[in-house]
Structure 1
Amino acid sequence: MRRLDSTEIVLSRRQILAASAAAGAVAALPGQASAAKEGASDPSSLAFRQPEHTIADTHRVAAGHQAQVLIRWGDGVAVDAPAFDVFAQSAAAQDRQFGYNNDFVAFMPLPVGSLASEHGLLCVNHEYTNAELMFPGLTLKDKTEKLCREQVDVEIAAHGHSVIEVRKNGQSWQVVAASPFARRLSALTTEFQMSGPAAGHDRLKTKADPSGRTVIGTLNNCAGGVTPWGTVLIAEENFDTYFSGDPKKTPESVNHIRLGIKGKSRYAWSRFHDRFDIEKEPNEPNRFGWVVEFDPYDPTSVPVKRTALGRFKHEAATCVTLADGRVVVYSGDDEMFEYLYRFVSRDPIDRKNRRANVGLLDHGTLSVARFDKDGTMTWLPLVWGQGKLTAANGFASQADVLIDARRAADLVGATPMDRPEDVETNPANGRVYVMLTNNSQRKPEQVNGANPRADNRHGHVLELTPPGAGKGRIGRHDAERFRWEILFLAGQRADGATYHPATDKYGAWLSAPDNCTFDNRGRLWISTDQGSNQRKNAIPDGMYACDVDGPGRSLVKFFYGVPRDAEMCGPAFTPDNRTLFVAVQHPGEDKDSTFDRPSTRWPDFRPDLPPRPAIVAITKDDGGPVGS
């Protein structure tokens, strides 16, 4: 197959016209550095002045803004949480303290159903742990052999989710002490229920749970979403990394191998907990990889894994309400050559009684996306008995289709993507934006219109348009076919990147788009995660933003930079856009960085403390909307 030139794919007629106009506006200006102060001819609607576009030991934010560290790993969540002592950690303490590696963030206004912007709940995922940065005396290479039982249990307790109550006082945010809403959902002690078509299936039953309906914990919670009735959805992603044992010695070998379980875990958990050894508990991994729903306004509620949304390495669970009241949920499967999914509920929401919507996500249709070269995409239903999803191919019921959603997607002909991560809908124009982080393994003969680069080290952003979507119109997100185009290819110019032509004068390049959100004007805010490539690329991870319409379309600007070796996660605006909450994950994560000798000590910068993942609240000095 001929490798497509990026301009053949990326530039729609709308982009060409906007780019030409913008290029004409800036052509007469003298050259400026990419981080220079923006001038009168800057076509972007984003007026902030960018910080230096470099990697640094500490965070930095656009001029005229302040970035406040709100809560860190180990800070108290539960009312009875003990003070954090990094040299005397215990699982019991961590089960009541803020967890590790914060990712997805949702701001839930108080009171429920309001648009309050100065008082609410912050709901935060805790994706994974870095033991070599949590405990002294460990390295990346020896930690799985050296960790003791108590340290492993601290790690398990540090996974899950935290709910804290927050209130704005002037320009600063405070965690409300002794809040009745404060809660930890942990992978060590919290009980979760299974619901939907796969609940109670034989493949979900274990020695500890012969019913197949009750699970302790949730793992690797990455991005998530908020339902129209005010519950939170948290997505289980790379759960395979926690399990050891030889898949070929289990009855679930095909399933386990397709989900990435390889026999050796990056964690030491199976040394002390049999449920993480698949040779002893072959069904335990089937109880992870789902979307979890819980009610943050009810601290006694039991979180539920909604199996109708399918099992894979979920990134995001973004909800859209259709005109008839039914709900659409979008998710990416975050791995190279995996797929984009959509769930459409069978029933409409009850707008008058939020509690009546319990169970709404247990009934509906899961589909997977196929992208065609003519700029259209088709949603392919994953329904048992249809096409190849039959007993002849190993699917005895809809439960099997959902448990083996990846294999089902293979069989119906979905398009393998370049790590589809966050998927968000722009409320201003109804279009859907997909963050495709990267794919270094794509070969020239594997490129296609929606994934046009081999060795795609920097990723790109896709824009999907449902029928009827447009300015002020949400469109038909349940339609069988959408249209698609590429907003931009990331990286630097030498990497074949395709940004707005004024980027080198007024903007900045980024790499590895990961999570995203939108402000009230419909502008796209992107967080990035290059992992170990950040140093190699010499591009800082952090928050970037751009217009998606008008003369500034795809003119990306750099707004906030994370400290060295960290990842940017969880962007969430308050309803008035006057605060942006972000999650700084794994500061100091590098192959040679340890508790004793970290590459940064952000955010405390104390010689007796390692780096600590934290939530940051960003506000504007003059009290106006962030980014204005």
Structure 2
Amino acid sequence: MDRKQIIEDPQTGNKGEAFEAFDDIPANPNLTRTIGEVIASRYGRRDMLKGLLGVSASTALFGASALTAPRQADAAGTAASSRYAFDELAWGNDGTHHVAKGYDADILLRWGDPITADAPDFDVLNQTAQAQLQQFGYNNDYVGFTPLNTEGTRGLLCVNHEYTNEEVMFPALGRQDKADFAGMTRALVDIEMAAHGGSVVEITRGTDGKWAVVRDGSRNRRISPLNTVMTIDGPAAGHARMQTSADPSGAQVIGTLNNCAGGMTSWGTWLMAEENFHGYFWTDRLDADGKPDLSDQPEAAQMKRYGVPGRWYAWGKYHDRFNIDKDPNEANRFGWVVEVDPRNPEAAPVKHTALGRFRHEGAETTTSTDGHLVVYMGDDARFDYQYKYVSKGVVSDDPAANSKLLSDGTLYAARFDPDGSVHWLPLVHGEGPLTAENGFASQADVLIDARLAADALGATPMDRPEDAAPRGDGTAYIMLTNNARRKAGETDAANPRAKSRFGHIIEIKEDGGDHAATRGSWSILVKCGDPGIAAVGAEWNPETSDNGWFASPDNCAFDAEGRLWVATDQGSKWGKTGKSDGLYGVETEGSLRGHSKLFFRCPAGGELCGPCFAPDGETLFLAVQHPGTDGTKALTGFARASTFEDPATRWPDFNPQMPPRPSVVVVTKQGGGRIAG
């Protein structure tokens, strides 16, 4: 199925769903060694064909309790020794959000809310780019928090704005991808651009325990692909492939886009990950089938590997830099990790090319045993790779010096071996196949074409590696959200299945407990999906209730007590489970390893992002993006695609004059205290 067929498919309800479906088509031609094949080799084809793990393998992955058939617990679903002290929420799917008993979930920020002292009030019927640049942006994904006082009651919230849904964002417009963007104008495109990027917002906690925006905060600002000037550093800065007509130096770029997950550094800066950048690039040259004609592009192979141009937005019709016919190198300037100093509005954000160019999902940081900075990053695409970066220098008390650690280090791609070991393969020019003879003339080429470099090294194609959560003991948890394109011949019982729609979580333990190690071991924490349906092949701790299992792990975080929390993103396929996306506490140790409990769930059609805990553990920030849009044709009582005039929900305002609005939610415990404590 090609792009045109996906767009015209009557089951595709909006542009976001079309984009999701198109990304089901793998861009990686190197599919000879998938993670499924590795696991099949590790545990044996007989186990794979039986649909079961052998006793020894199952015990190694899940503990002895995994040999017990899953039970369906009662609605509370609380095992006696669970470290997550809350009454489990019941699963479901409706027009509003829900949180576990004894907690408040308050709306803190909504799309369009003014965030500067002189910002105009939001007028959804009279939007402008100028106003949007002073208002909270659209689809909020990653959330980070950095305190401004020792008590942690005042701080800066850093929020990514991933993408826009024009069919529920603008009145009387409808789906534009289906109409070849006939209704889009320069003004509407500029509003979309202004709504992308990120927001820095000062917030404070009152004596009543509630958080509020400090609208006159001197650091409040928007970051956008419309007007935010950024510098480029690292090995690719200034390279000929980074130079454009607007920037012949190759060292400066306007803006960032499709910022999905991210991270916060120990020195208080914010890392914004650029994910599906390919969708924003345009071409006027189409072949007879309506596909981009790259015959005149000198970097056609590289563009194809990255999916450029996606033509999912009309930006290139009005901004030449997003049209590859006019400025092909601009695409090389996106797909990076951007560092922002939220405390200093005058400091230009920096794109760190040492961390590689791919569809970044997450940039979670930690330190090695001897102080080197380590960043875990996934390439969120089917059959693409898990990466990590290790700095050359070590973290110090000097923030300026620490930021330079992101400019000089080694990027690695992961190879998962049949014996349960993981090998981190260095993407270093001149080593192994990464030579000029193979198309890599310099380290800049290796990093600009990180996907192709990882292909050449034989990294393991994964099932959409999304966020990662590293722990201080050398352990990291990798979220693999799904892969419906896995063929039957690639199936196995211990990891992603054929047409896997539910995903799994891999645990990595680095050798010596050192995150900078180039070797480690891997195992499976959970295989997601409904354990009550044998064909799904899900594996959870048997104490997990019917409320507790989930599908499509995406964002994740540790709280102050070292407990893992996982947010889900089923996209338009939530109808396969019937559950809204939500937040779950997942046990990683002991007899309850692989046990999960539902704490919060989204309104229908929304995706849960974040999560982010304040340092004292008493506040949980969550982001709900694209509420009322994804999969609404499967929503009982609605059963159609959402539009501005007719949305599946009007969360969170429930105002008949207002469409659904992506929002940040603040969760606190009634009466005070730590979340789940």
Q: How far does the alpha carbon of each residue in 1:40-84 deviate from its partner, in whole angstroms, 9 at most, with x for none?
A: x53422121122200110000000001000000001123321111
Q: CA deviation at 1:450?
A: 7.4
What are the within-5 Å matches in structure 2 for residues 410-421 of structure 1? 410-421=455-466
CA distance in 1 between counterparts of 2:214 and 2:484 reads 44
Alignment partner of 2:393: what SS?
coil
1:471 aligns to what?
none
CA distance in 1 between counterparts of 2:57 and 2:105 reads 35
CA distance in 2 between counterparts of 1:311 and 1:119 reads 35
What are the within-5 Å matches in structure 2 for residues 153-552 of structure 1? 153-169=190-206, 170-245=208-283, 246-261=293-308, 263=309, 265-351=311-397, 353-427=398-472, 429-447=473-491, 451-468=495-512, 475-493=513-531, 494=533, 495-504=536-545, 507-552=547-592
2:286 aligns to what?
none
CA distance in 2 between counterparts of 1:543 and 1:123 reads 20
Return the letter of the residue paired with 1:491.
G
CA distance in 1 between counterparts of 2:80 and 2:311 reads 50
Assess if the C-alpha contact under 8 Å between 1:131 and 1:143 holds in 2: no
Assess if the C-alpha contact under 8 Å between 1:193 and 1:305 holds in 2: yes
CA distance in 2 between counterparts of 1:371 and 1:307 reads 25
Alignment partner of 1:177: what SS?
coil
Seen in structure 2, the aligned counterparts of structure 1 residues 345 and 420 have a Cα distance that, compared at 3 Å, is same
CA distance in 2 between counterparts of 1:555 and 1:587 reads 28
Return the letter of the residue paired with 1:503.
T
2:658 aligns to what?
609
CA distance in 2 between counterparts of 1:555 and 1:477 reads 25
CA distance in 2 between counterparts of 1:536 and 1:98 reads 33
Q: CA deviation at 1:406?
A: 0.1
Seen in structure 2, the aligned counterparts of structure 1 residues 340 and 575 have a Cα distance that, compared at 3 Å, is same
Assess if the C-alpha contact under 8 Å between 2:580 and 2:606 holds in 1: no
1:472 aligns to what?
none
Which stretch shifts more, 274-283 or 439-448? 439-448
Assess if the C-alpha contact under 8 Å between 1:6 and 1:452 holds in 2: no
Seen in structure 2, the aligned counterparts of structure 1 residues 337 and 264 have a Cα distance that, compared at 3 Å, is closer
Q: How far does the alpha carbon of each residue in 1:430-471 deviate from its partner, in whole angstroms, 9 at most, with x for none?
A: 310000000000113334787442211100000000123xxx
Assess if the C-alpha contact under 8 Å between 1:44 and 1:546 holds in 2: no
CA distance in 2 between counterparts of 1:330 and 1:621 reads 35
CA distance in 2 between counterparts of 1:390 and 1:174 reads 54
Q: CA deviation at 1:424?
A: 1.1
1:623 aligns to what?
672
CA distance in 1 between counterparts of 2:544 and 2:334 reads 42
1:16 aligns to what?
63
Alignment partner of 2:590: what SS?
coil
2:188 aligns to what?
151
Seen in structure 2, the aligned counterparts of structure 1 residues 359 and 247 have a Cα distance that, compared at 3 Å, is farther
Assess if the C-alpha contact under 8 Å between 1:237 and 1:313 holds in 2: yes
Q: CA deviation at 1:612?
A: 0.4
Q: CA deviation at 1:570?
A: 1.0
Return the letter of the residue paired with 1:627.
A
Q: Structure 1 segments of 4 or more deviating over 6 A? A: none
Return the letter of the residue paired with 1:258.
R
Seen in structure 2, the aligned counterparts of structure 1 residues 70 and 143 have a Cα distance that, compared at 3 Å, is farther
Assess if the C-alpha contact under 8 Å between 1:450 and 1:462 holds in 2: no
Alignment partner of 1:249: what SS?
coil
Assess if the C-alpha contact under 8 Å between 1:382 and 1:409 holds in 2: yes
CA distance in 1 between counterparts of 2:272 and 2:494 reads 27
Let me know the Cα RMSD of the aligned residues. 1.9
1:568 aligns to what?
608
Q: CA deviation at 1:19?
A: 4.8
Alignment partner of 1:180: what SS?
coil
Q: How far does the alpha carbon of each residue in 1:525-552 deviate from its partner, in whole angstroms, 9 at most, with x for none?
A: 0000001001232122011112111222
Return the letter of the residue paired with 1:455.
K
Please, which runs of 5 or more residues in structure 1 have no aligned partner? 469-474
CA distance in 2 between counterparts of 1:212 and 1:448 reads 46
CA distance in 1 between counterparts of 2:490 and 2:61 reads 28
Seen in structure 2, the aligned counterparts of structure 1 residues 103 and 450 have a Cα distance that, compared at 3 Å, is farther
Assess if the C-alpha contact under 8 Å between 2:132 and 2:194 holds in 1: yes
Alignment partner of 1:455: what SS?
coil
Please, which runs of 5 or more residues in structure 2 have no aligned partner? 1-36, 38-44, 284-292, 632-640
Q: How far does the alpha carbon of each residue in 1:248-302 deviate from its partner, in whole angstroms, 9 at most, with x for none?
A: 32112111110012x5511111111111111111101100000001111111110
Seen in structure 2, the aligned counterparts of structure 1 residues 540 and 396 have a Cα distance that, compared at 3 Å, is same
CA distance in 2 between counterparts of 1:139 and 1:105 reads 29
Pick from 52, 63, 76 the counterpart of residue 37 of structure 1.
76
Return the letter of the residue paired with 2:597.
K
CA distance in 1 between counterparts of 2:116 and 2:249 reads 31
Return the letter of the residue paired with 1:602.
W
CA distance in 2 between counterparts of 1:6 and 1:286 reads 45
Q: How far does the alpha carbon of each residue in 1:83-136 deviate from its partner, in whole angstroms, 9 at most, with x for none?
A: 11001100111111111000000010113xx5x332111000000000111101
Return the letter of the residue paired with 1:606.
N
Q: What TM-score does the superposition give when structure 2 sets the normalisation length? A: 0.87
Assess if the C-alpha contact under 8 Å between 1:373 and 1:449 holds in 2: no
Return the letter of the residue paired with 2:305.
R
CA distance in 2 between counterparts of 1:574 and 1:143 reads 44
CA distance in 1 between counterparts of 2:470 and 2:493 reads 21
Assess if the C-alpha contact under 8 Å between 1:107 and 1:120 holds in 2: yes
Alignment partner of 1:487: what SS?
strand
Q: CA deviation at 1:521?
A: 2.3
Q: CA deviation at 1:142?
A: 3.1
CA distance in 2 between counterparts of 1:448 and 1:204 reads 42
Return the letter of the residue paired with 2:444.
A
Assess if the C-alpha contact under 8 Å between 2:238 and 2:251 holds in 1: yes
Q: CA deviation at 1:357?
A: 2.1
Assess if the C-alpha contact under 8 Å between 1:373 and 1:448 holds in 2: no
Assess if the C-alpha contact under 8 Å between 2:77 and 2:548 holds in 1: no
Seen in structure 2, the aligned counterparts of structure 1 residues 67 and 360 have a Cα distance that, compared at 3 Å, is same
Assess if the C-alpha contact under 8 Å between 2:372 and 2:516 holds in 1: no
Seen in structure 2, the aligned counterparts of structure 1 residues 550 and 207 have a Cα distance that, compared at 3 Å, is same
CA distance in 2 between counterparts of 1:274 and 1:500 reads 53
CA distance in 2 between counterparts of 1:254 and 1:215 reads 24
2:106 aligns to what?
68
Alignment partner of 1:357: what SS?
helix
**% identical equivalent positions:** 51
1:119 aligns to what?
154
Return the letter of the residue paired with 1:438.
N
